[in-house]
Each structure stands twice: as C-alpha cells, then as structure tokens.
Structure 1
C-alpha cells in the first residue's frame, strides 16, 4: 500500500495555510492544526480525519488577529491545541481542547514576546507545554503541565545565561524530555533536561562540535531514554571567495544517564554524523533559493524499535530553483540497514512528522503542505510507507571538496574605529547589512534570530535588518510573523553595541510589467504596518507610496532595473548585493539621479543563505552613535557609502561638505577623497552625472586624493568609485546565483549634488 493522503484545508484566493502539526487520539483518529492566513488576520484551524473521511473544519482561535505557531497533542481522552497570540496588546500562550472546543486557557501572558511553543503527553495522560519568553535581555524556556483538570504553576525549564530558543518535547513514562538550543557569546549549543511533576533535572549538553548546532528534534527510545537529531552548520569558503555553510544532520542517544553519539558504518565520519544536507544548500555550480525544512531533520521510532532520521534533499540545484523541489529521504539509525538512505516520497511536499507517534506497520504518519506546480498550497495529511524499497545513492561529501573551513569572525580591518569631523560634530564609521532574508520568505532559509546572531557574532556587523518578503511565490508574510520580526529586532537591538532594525520587503511584480519593482522598508520604531502587493490596498505603486507617506519608513529599491515615483519615504538605493553589482550592469541608478531623486548609496547582501555581512555587499555609515535614531539620521543625510563586501574607509567632501550633501559653488568643484583599505587601492574614478570624467592611480592602502572639475552651469551630482587590487581567487566565470565574493573589490561614495 502506497501513499494515503487527504486534503484538509479549503484553498481560496488570498488564503494561505502553513505550519501544520499532527497528533492521533486514543481511537486512532488523526488531528491536524495549522496557521491559516486570511486577508489582514491570522487564525488557528484544526481538522480531524479517519479512513479518508474528514471532520468539520474548526477555528480554534477564539478571535482573529495575531495567532501562530500551533502545536497539537492528545493526552488521555482530550486533544489540545497550543499556540501563540496577542490579546489586548499582550503576548499570550493559549491552549484549547479541540475535540470539545472548550474555553481558551491562557498559559502565559507578558508584555514581551512569547513564542516557539511545543507540546507532548506522557503515558499517564498528562500534557506538557513549553515555550520561550523574553525576561529582561534574555530568552528563557518555561512550561506548564496539565494533570487531570489542573494546570501546574509555570516552571523555568532553562538554566544559565544566554538566549534559550525553540524548546522541543518528548513524552516519557513519568513526564517529558525537553531539549533547547542556547546562544551565548556567539556560540550555539544544545541541552536536554528531564521534566517530571517533581521538578526539572540538570541540563545535559549534547552538542558535539564547536560549530553552531541547531533545531533539535526528539523521539522516545522505547525505554527510559530518548533519541535526538539536529543540524550542525559549519562555516566554509570557496576558492571563488564565497562564504557559506556545510550543514549536516546529527544524532545521539541518551539512556537516562549519558549520551552516546550515533556512529554509522562509515567510520571516517565524525561521531554523531548521520547525513550531509549539502545538495541544494551548498552549491557545486549554480544555486539559488531554498524553501522547505531542508535544514531540519526529523526523527521517528518504529514499534519494533528501529529509529529513523528523516530529511529533505533538493532535487536538482540547476532545476526548479524556487518552489517545492525537495525529495523526502530517510536513514535508519538502528537495525540491519542503518546508514543507507532511501527515498520515502517524491511528491515534494513540505513534510512534518511527530516524533511522539510511533511508526506502526512501517506506515509513517505525516502532515504537509501540498506542492502544486512551483508552489506550496494547501494542508494535507496521511501516511507513507517507510521501507527500503527505494534505496538511493547520495553524492559523496567529496563532491564539495572545494569548500574549505573558515573560522568566523575574522580579525577587524582597522585597529580603531575610524572617525571624521563635520561642522563641529564627530561621526564614527559603522558597518551594516540592511537587506537579509530568512525562512519567512518564500525562497530562503534561516531563522530571524539566527540571521541576527550571524551578523553580530560572525560577520561583526554593527547594524542589520532581516527583511522577509510580503508575498513571494507560495508564501505570504502574515501579521503574526510581522509581530515576531518586530519582537526579534527589538530583542537583538543593543544600543552602543548592535542595532537591529525592524523591516520587511515589498515584492511587487506584475506579469505585464518588465522585471520586479521591489522595495525594502526600514522602520525606526514599532510602527510597522503590513501591506501586501497582492491585496487591494497596496496593489499599485501609487497606493503603496500613499500608505508609506503615513509612516516613518526609509525605503529603497534594488535589482538591476526598477522604477520610482516621488515619495518623501524614498531615501536610498542598493548598488550591489549577493546577486550582482547593479550600478555596473544598467543605467537605472544614474538615470534616477538625473531625474532629480536624492538617493543614498547602499550595499546590502539580499542574502537568502544566512550570511548577512558576508554576502558580497555592505553599507558604511558615518553616524554620531550606534543607535537606531543616529543610524536613520545618517541614512536620511546620505552620509553613507556602498561596498561589495570589503571594509573600506571612505570620506568624500566638496567644499568641506560630506557625501550626500547639496552644495553651491561659483567656480570649480573641489573634491577631496580620503580612502583607507586593508589592501592596495589601485585607482579611484570620479563620476559626474553618471559618467566617468576622471581617474587617479593610487597604488597603496591609504591616500588623500584631490579632484577638480569645472562643469556647465546648473545642477550636477558627483560620486567616486574605489577600485581595490583584487584578492587571489578563482574567477567567477559568470553569475553564480545568490552568492558573491564575501570581500569584493569596489566601493562607491553617496553622491554630492552641486549647483553651479
């Protein structure tokens, strides 16, 4: 018997269903809960089914609005749904019995973010719930237990400093196992604790390397212990100069006393190694977007005791680069065929399994988002045969031997932070990346917190923004997800040390028009209204511009081509990114300047690969302080410049006025450029009105250059292009998808407008 599947959601235009969770009740009936977006609001939906017969579609959330991250569990005779929400302006963790549709229970509420819930049950019918909460400057893990009709008091499940994220639960005879990841001082480790009605055991660290270890999942071992799987992400560099990650699935067994890392038949691999996840994540030739759970292995146990790790592999890095193109693989950790992968399914759905549910008669229960054409669509559930019938041979790790380990962060370029003085004020140079994507976009991987942590600790950025798309391919950014973006930006914002900016991207594109016309929207505070280009209130550029006029947003276009209309919220333009160097490709940017638009020059990675700050583009900002307020003041003043990854100090002035200024002159234009880099500056070119008019050879790392020009009367704009001596690297040989050299060879000053 092959696949058994039933569609549970009701597909309608403008609706998006995502994030399904699955359980089975005592009678064998399946229950699935998911996050349903309806225009301008989120709901939690649930539906049961048995023998291909669907129950009624139920709305578990008692009010529409902010509702997300549903989890579902059966304990005793009851089915409970737990989710995160906002009620009366406060964050909540809510619970409700789905089979009885009883009253909604508030398990927790706070002014600060509550997120990432999980649930399980034990063999005595108790229900265990865990979530994360912001307490002061750190995230901690808390939980409650339902025993009969009584909920316990809140228990602190995490221990020690740092941010504790994404608890996962697994039931055992007397309670629950809880695992979570901890980010502290730039390191990311995993911990397990035993939780019973009598209390919480000591943390057991089970990460195995010095690299980041993330996304644990658990399943029972059938005795007193637990199996865990997770990912390790190792930073690597390619001879072409790209920086990326090698991602691998890991596993280990805890018997209640100590951990035993999994060892497969290939003893050349490290302890804990299960399978590499390089295909489609780490390119060999050309690669682009990455949807699905590709970096999140899952784990299940058969009733006969064999344990399996499940994971996705991209079908082909050269084909169907966006959309659902992942194959569902499995590899047994125990039994006679351990270490051999098989293809569980080729329908390229986005699968979710429940590690608490045993695999009975080799049938794997699942919930999933259905793939239709290029996109994910509705929610389905069912079962698949879990056997060795479709054994596969995967590419060996040697296929990616060109990628070499790199230790991040790298040493700073300057011994001290550069400073300049303008008009009696002192400005310092800060580096940032204000266009980065995570897995709330339709074609990217990476959590919001993971992106911010990488930018701060590995790329040594001073400021950054995670800018997921409003609507891209199959995915729509929901109001609840926007709240999470804002909450994580506020959490990581650390004035004086690191600035995180709330943001998202407008992804406007119509088939009848040539190319995309996207915008990044940066917000200085929590006032961040959500508009989708797919909905009637912002489906034209004119409507969207009118909506932005009511905000304090700083917006800027990107890509090689785009078009603009007058707007007081239009402040800059992206010159380069992970995709390419736009200012060297088209005349779009100079033409907009010639039309009179005043735009700050910015470099931002547009990374879909979780490499903010290492994706081939940076913005250097001269600001009075490292705060959101000072950053936005500098951007609006255009006191900033773009590079394609190299940290170059660039100070350009006309008559003493800095880049971004508007200056009147009577005769010649006198321009002074101070430049400093970690390698030789070959030459600096002067551009007037978008055309190169002068060039000076430099031949050293640091220089002060003077340019003189006598243009015609009228208004003109000037900017400089700095050209560094290229690093020794393998030639790119053409465009390579969403990845450029981490440290490029160019920098561009923001224009100075001169009226003569």
Structure 2
C-alpha cells in the first residue's frame, strides 16, 4: 500500500518499507542488528570485556557464522549497525566512546563513529563521523529525546553505502526547544563524501528504511517534536529525502578544552579509615550515586550495562541507583524495561563489593503549587512493581496515590531538585542537597524551611546524571552501613546515616553530644559538636549550622582532623558543613566538576 505525509499543500506518496522501532525503549544491551544479502548473513552486537580493569566494550560481527571482534585500547565500541552494499560487501559501524576532562575538572565523553568494510579478506576500519556537536558540553548541554548515539548503515542502489546519524540542534538548546538533524556520508568508489544534512526540520528519532537509497531517494520514518504542553510523543511521519541535493554539514563548536583521560587507571582519593563503632555496632563507609540516568530516560543516553560498568569500574563507586524517569516527554519506562533493570541490578550486585540498587524516578511535574514534585524511589529487593505517576490518571492526587502505594512495597523516597514538598510519610528519607544541576542547599531555603517545620530528613548528594558519568557528575553520597548489602544500603538511607558531598570522597562523622548524624537527642544543654573528617585536601572552613544559622566556625584545618566545639546555642537541629579550597565553576544545565569542595552531614535532631 501507500502512506502519505502532508507538508502544507504538498502530499508525497511513498512505498512502505521496513524500519526500526526507535520509539519502544528497549534496553540497548538486548539489541543487535542483522543484515542479509543473497544468502549471506551479517550480525553485530556489543559486549563488555571480562576484566574489571578494562571496563570497555567490544563489537562482535558475525558473518556467515564466523566471528570478528573489534576493539580499541581504552575505548568502548558500542551500538553497532550492519549492512551489505549492493555488490555484497559487508559493512559495520559503531560508536567509539572515550573519556575526557576539561580544565575545571568536569568529566565527560567524546563519541564518534567508526566504520569497517571487508575488502580482500581484511577489515578496513575508519573513523568517519564526529558526534560531539549537540552531545558534548561547550558551555551547557541539555537532554534530547532522540537518538544521538545510534549509527545506521544503508546501501545505495547506485553503489556504496550511506552512514547516517542524528544530532541535536541547537547545541545547547533546551530539551523541549530543539530538534534532530539527520546527517549522512556516502562511501562510493573507494572514498567518503563530505558529511551532508539530510533532514533539518522539527523531527527527531529518525530511522531509515533498511532497503536504503533507491534512485537517489531515502525513505525515513521520524517523529515530530513534542511541545511542552502536550502529553505523548509526536506523530510518526514518513519522509522522502533527495540525498544528492543535500547541503554540506558545516563543522561547528570548539571542543579544544577537552583532553583524553583514562578513568579506569585513576585512583580516586578515599579516606583511609572507613570503619566506625557506634552504639556497640560496627559500621562501614561506602560511597555511591543514588540518582542517575540511562537511555531508558527519554532525555538521557547510556546503555544500562554501560552505565553500571562505568559506575563500578571507572567511578569506582560502592553502590549506584539508576533512577530512570517513569514517564516524561511522552515516554514511559515500560513494564518489560522495568523488569530488565531489576534483573540487571540483581546480576551486577555482589555483596561486600558493589550494590546496584533497584530504583526509578517519580517524575510528577507538579503537586498543587509545588513544581516539581519528583522523588527517587529506591527498593530493598529486586521484585517490586513500578507505579508511574501518569498511570494514576488525569484526575486525583497522584502523589497521595504514591504515598499509599509505596507502603505496599519495601521502597523509600529521596527528594530531588531545589524545590519540593515533604510529606508525613515514614518513607520520606532524605533530601538531595546537591547534584550535577546545582548546589541546591547553597541557594535554596527549601531545605532549612522543611527542617524548621519539624520534618526529619537526611542529606544526600547525587549526579542526577544525564551525561553518562554516574558518580562523577557533581555529587555523591557517603553512607554508614551495618551491612554492605542491598538491605544494608536501604536501612542506612532510612536511618539517615548519610551525608552529601559535591563529588569529593570525604570521610565524615558528626555528633551532637552522643547523637550521630540522623539520630535525635533529648532537649537540654549543654550542646557540643564533634566532627571527624578525612578530606582529599586541606579544609578552608568547618561550619556548624543550627536552625538555619551558622552557630560555630573553625577555619584553616588540615585535611584530616577531629574537632570538638562546646557551648553551642540551643537549636532543634544541627549539621556540619565542610568547605575545601578550590573553585567550583557554575555551568548551565547538568554539568559540574567531578570533585567539588563541599560536604554536608545529615542533621542531628533535638527532641522536645
């Protein structure tokens, strides 16, 4: 049959061709690509190397049952595509990804596309596309609901193949104020053409027909952009592109500030003493990122396994929670995808070594006058269901439905962002005081206001990462656990034996009298603070905050110290704030140095 797509007064008919399914958020590690040509079969998939000291991915291409592995030193090869040219030449393409750092200590990744073709029994490899524009930061970079890390290969019936990829424009455009540009390069007669722009309109998630270019035309399925006020993704359009008249893609952006680094070989500064005796129990200090994202979130990238490997083997975290958005920008985490995340979290968890916490983000845009009302939902086991805010219907109180539902699970909740409203639920555990989007507690009164109103909540730091850098995106959490297990992680969060840092792995212990952070003591002075810290560098200041005011300050302390401050004024809650020297440049969007200069203990509360 025929499908038509109308643009203004022009309606263009086109044949219906098989295309991929980019709009179903299938976990990428499950994906592979297959091509056939005159009885020959070509298949490709990526896989993680076995050694934890080499946390990189390889691509395996299988041609007629014979395997060919592609790798590169200290580089990941991911998300392959395959095709045959019309003369039967096998082709493969994949993303090359390596780590970079700028002069401010921000860590990111460079992505490019490498192609390989089989000639004379040998694979010829070439890097042919630069994916940094719209993906790697210059000043700021925002999320994108399309696919910036997904190459495609299609044949041209006149000879050769086309490499296709999508990029976001403008480079630093807001997630809902941007669109996709489909780019391409043709290989023909032994050489590559200049990159060209095939589609530059309000579309995203462009997927080509697998038959490729015919008579100079390429059929592409794409989705229209989604205005902010609309629910659901845009309509799917079928577009016909004349490839020979496409304009040349002009190079844009200065990325010279980024230098290649090898994170797998970096030793992050850690406190030497990570054990504590408290009330007759032994505790261990672990570090993790309890709020970060993968490609299962519409506006983020990163294969789920890729992000677990990054967190464990590059950031060298003890635990991580991949908190993908339940429903945002018209796309949800499906039930199969949710089950997949729990299966992978379970498979990657090794007690005493690394804990992958099953989690997701409740992404409710507003609750009454509160904008937004997001929560990180973290579970104590791997068999919990998911409740998406949008599943609660258009009417009624979604958040109250969450508060009732979570009581039927073993989950807890941590806040997100600089504005929120805590509830009376005993599952409300901690407040996210800093992340890659900003150091909220330095700017917002929301945290102190909730404590002054009697809420008892701890402090956590996270990356809220959308840039594929879990644990290195501007915030982490220190957690004092009885057991280095998933139940032990959740118990420590619930007991608020946690503290936030802007990324640096500070060892921090804080007491008021005999009450440790997260605990409460009976009212009646005198009040003394005791702070023990192990920092990666000397300390500029130690502040004790009580009821929102600085009640004591010590300056110019060594990197490791133990201090007691007596005769504090009476307050209903206290916490410690450490400031180390060094700048902390503020970027727009989800960009922050990996090791910022602050740490905040969870409060100690005073009863009565």
Normalising to structure 1: TM-score of the pair? 0.74
Cα offset, 1:236, TM superposition: 0.9
Aligned to 2:256: 401
Over 3 Å counting, the alpha-carbon distance change for 1:426 and 1:680 in structure 2 is same
C-alpha separation in 1, matches of 2:472 and 2:23: 35
Identify which range, 716-725 or 334-343, moves more after superposition: 334-343
Match of 2:320 among 454, 461, 464: 464
Task: Tell me the SS of whatever aligns to 1:647.
Answer: coil
Matched, 1:204 2:68: yes
Aligned to 2:560: 702
Matched, 1:437 2:293: yes
Cα offset, 1:470, TM superposition: 1.5
Tell me if structure 2 keeps the 8 A contact 1:323–1:443: no
Aligned to 2:234: 377
Aligned to 1:688: 546
Aligned to 2:108: 244
C-alpha separation in 2, matches of 1:242 and 1:34: 34
Cα offset, 1:414, TM superposition: 3.3
Task: Tell me the SS of whatever aligns to 2:535.
Answer: strand
Aligned to 2:598: 746
Task: Tell me the SS of whatever aligns to 1:449.
Answer: helix
Task: Tell me the SS of whatever aligns to 1:428.
Answer: strand
Aligned residues: 589
Aligned to 1:169: 34
Over 3 Å counting, the alpha-carbon distance change for 1:32 and 1:302 in structure 2 is closer
C-alpha separation in 2, matches of 1:414 and 1:218: 44
CA deviations on 1:638-658 (whole Å, 9 max, x unpaired) are 111100000100011233332
CA deviations on 1:241-267 (whole Å, 9 max, x unpaired) are 211111111111124732111xxxxxx
Q: How does 1:139-150 map to 2 (within 5 A)?
A: none
Match of 2:443 among 580, 585, 606: 585
C-alpha separation in 2, matches of 1:677 and 1:441: 34
C-alpha separation in 2, matches of 1:608 and 1:236: 16
Cα offset, 1:368, TM superposition: 2.6
Over 3 Å counting, the alpha-carbon distance change for 1:570 and 1:691 in structure 2 is same
Task: Tell me the SS of whatever aligns to 1:349.
Answer: strand
Aligned to 2:11: none
C-alpha separation in 2, matches of 1:441 and 1:736: 20
CA RMSD of aligned residues (A): 2.6
Aligned to 1:638: 496
C-alpha separation in 2, matches of 1:188 and 1:680: 38
C-alpha separation in 2, matches of 1:502 and 1:4: 42
Aligned to 1:98: none
Unaligned runs of 5+ in 2: 7-13
C-alpha separation in 2, matches of 1:449 and 1:692: 44
Matched, 1:180 2:45: yes
Over 3 Å counting, the alpha-carbon distance change for 1:542 and 1:678 in structure 2 is same
Cα offset, 1:392, TM superposition: 2.5
Task: Tell me the SS of whatever aligns to 1:590.
Answer: helix
Cα offset, 1:29, TM superposition: 5.0
Q: How does 1:669-684 map to 2 (within 5 A)?
A: 669-684=527-542
Cα offset, 1:415, TM superposition: 7.3
Aligned to 1:84: none
Cα offset, 1:543, TM superposition: 2.2
Over 3 Å counting, the alpha-carbon distance change for 1:407 and 1:543 in structure 2 is same
Cα offset, 1:5, TM superposition: 4.8
Over 3 Å counting, the alpha-carbon distance change for 1:701 and 1:415 in structure 2 is closer
Over 3 Å counting, the alpha-carbon distance change for 1:305 and 1:207 in structure 2 is farther
Tell me if structure 2 keeps the 8 A contact 1:291–1:439: no
C-alpha separation in 2, matches of 1:372 and 1:649: 45
Cα offset, 1:288, TM superposition: 1.5
Aligned to 2:473: 615
Match of 1:524 among 366, 377, 380: 380
Aligned to 2:246: 389
Task: Tell me the SS of whatever aligns to 1:678.
Answer: coil
CA deviations on 1:609-650 (whole Å, 9 max, x unpaired) are 111000010000111232101111111111111000001000
Matched, 1:476 2:332: yes
Cα offset, 1:194, TM superposition: 2.4
Tell me if structure 2 keeps the 8 A contact 1:575–1:581: yes
Task: Tell me the SS of whatever aligns to 1:440.
Answer: coil
Over 3 Å counting, the alpha-carbon distance change for 1:509 and 1:372 in structure 2 is closer
Matched, 1:299 2:164: no
Tell me if structure 2 keeps the 8 A contact 1:322–1:443: no
Identify which range, 174-183 or 319-328, moves more after superposition: 319-328
Q: How does 1:309-458 map to 2 (within 5 A)?
A: 309-322=163-176, 325-335=179-189, 338-347=192-201, 348-355=203-210, 357-373=211-227, 376-395=233-252, 399-409=254-264, 410-414=266-270, 416=272, 418-458=274-314
C-alpha separation in 1, matches of 2:435 and 2:565: 29
Task: Tell me the SS of whatever aligns to 2:198.
Answer: strand
Cα offset, 1:31, TM superposition: 4.9
Over 3 Å counting, the alpha-carbon distance change for 1:323 and 1:553 in structure 2 is farther
C-alpha separation in 1, matches of 2:454 and 2:470: 32
Match of 1:575 among 425, 429, 433: 433
C-alpha separation in 1, matches of 2:532 and 2:270: 15
Match of 1:193 among 49, 53, 62: 62
Aligned to 2:482: 624
Over 3 Å counting, the alpha-carbon distance change for 1:345 and 1:5 in structure 2 is farther
Tell me if structure 1 keeps the 8 A contact 2:519–2:604: yes
Task: Tell me the SS of whatever aligns to 1:635.
Answer: helix
Matched, 1:595 2:460: no
Tell me if structure 2 keeps the 8 A contact 1:653–1:671: yes
C-alpha separation in 2, matches of 1:749 and 1:236: 31
Which one has more relative contact order, counting CA pairs under 8 Å at least 6 apart? Answer: 2
Cα offset, 1:352, TM superposition: 1.4
Aligned to 2:85: 221
Tell me if structure 1 keeps the 8 A contact 2:463–2:470: yes
C-alpha separation in 2, matches of 1:703 and 1:477: 46
Unaligned runs of 5+ in 1: 8-23, 38-67, 70-114, 117-131, 133-164, 262-271
Cα offset, 1:337, TM superposition: 7.3
CA deviations on 1:98-135 (whole Å, 9 max, x unpaired) are xxxxxxxxxxxxxxxxx76xxxxxxxxxxxxxxx8xxx
Tell me if structure 2 keeps the 8 A contact 1:520–1:557: yes
